[in-house]
């Protein structure tokens, strides 16, 4: 692990407050399937790729995962979330400023999301494509998060070692993917808590994030890899 060479940003729940839009979509899908979404099932879906989200939904709702039914469910969810994402999407507090701060330092940035490309393109209308050097989506790799493939691909595209990158994530699924890729991880929970881990830095949000804090994320990961236990939790501002 060396000098910070890139920042890899999760999208839903980290930069954009879009989990609330997905919340509408999955609740409506559950009703289409003749079931009601529970809070426990909804929490299990946060951060999951489209394929995994449907698998979890069908299993937890007790619906037969017949291929045609799963395909129709996926089409329904994509159609509904497309409607919800057409137009400005609310930002998470401090996210736009954090992105601009990183861009001002000259560090390369990648958007790394489990959301499929068609929906990510809608979100980029809000995020601003100019804020990212590359973007990698869940349907562009063999397996989405928690598999590390999206993070490994993003680091490759910006030409840096993943161990020299900080990934910024809000969910346990995303954190697992980033950690497996070897990135330093800054955890900014949104909808549900993420367990504290000595190799990661936890922050209540992105308000007031600084370059020095991102450097600290790599330092914490490096010390943890060497056996030194360091737990860091920060509040915005």
Its pTM stands at 0.86
**For the segment 66-87, what is each residue's pLDDT rounded down to a tens digit?**
999 999 999 999 999 899 988 8
Please state, in angstroms and rounded to a whole number, the distance separating the CA atoms of residues 71 and 54. Answer: 9
pLDDT for 88 equals 87
Contact 196, 36 (CB under 8 A): no
Distance between CA atoms of residues 144 and 140, nearest Å: 9
Low-confidence spans in the chain with pLDDT less than 70: 1-2, 227-237
In this prediction, residue 230 carries a pLDDT of 47
Peptide bond connecting 233 to the previous residue in cis, omega within 30 degrees of 0: no
pLDDT of residue 46: 83
The whole-angstrom separation of Cα 5 and Cα 2 is: 8
Rounded Cα distance, 170 and 79, in Å = 25
Structural domains for the chain: 6-17+90-234 (3.40.50.1000), 19-85 (1.10.150)
């Amino acid at each position: 692990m060396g000098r910070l060479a890139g920042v890899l940003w999760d999208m839903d729940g980290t930069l954009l407050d879009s989990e609330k839009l997905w919340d509408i979509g999955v609740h409506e899908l559950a009703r289409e399937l003749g079931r009601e979404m529970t809070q426990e099932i909804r929490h299990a879906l946060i951060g999951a790729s489209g394929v995994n989200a449907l698998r979890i939904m069908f299993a937890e709702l007790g619906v037969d995962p017949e291929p045609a039914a799963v395909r129709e469910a996926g089409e329904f969810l994509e159609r509904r979330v497309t409607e919800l994402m057409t137009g400005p999407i609310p930002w998470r507090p401090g996210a736009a400023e954090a992105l601009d701060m990183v861009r001002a330092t000259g560090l390369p940035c990648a958007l790394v999301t489990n959301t499929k490309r068609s929906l990510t393109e809608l979100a980029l209308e809000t995020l601003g494509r100019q804020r990212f050097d590359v973007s990698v989506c869940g349907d562009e790799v063999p397996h989405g998060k928690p598999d590390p493939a999206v993070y490994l691909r993003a680091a490759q595209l910006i030409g840096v070692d993943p161990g020299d990158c900080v990934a910024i994530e809000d969910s346990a699924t995303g954190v697992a993917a980033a950690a497996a890729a070897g990135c330093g991880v800054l955890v900014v929970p949104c909808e549900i808590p993420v367990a504290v881990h000595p190799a990661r830095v936890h922050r209540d949000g992105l308000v007031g994030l600084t370059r020095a804090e991102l450097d600290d994320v790599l330092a914490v990961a490096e010390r943890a890899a060497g056996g030194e236990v360091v737990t860091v939790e920060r509040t915005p501002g």
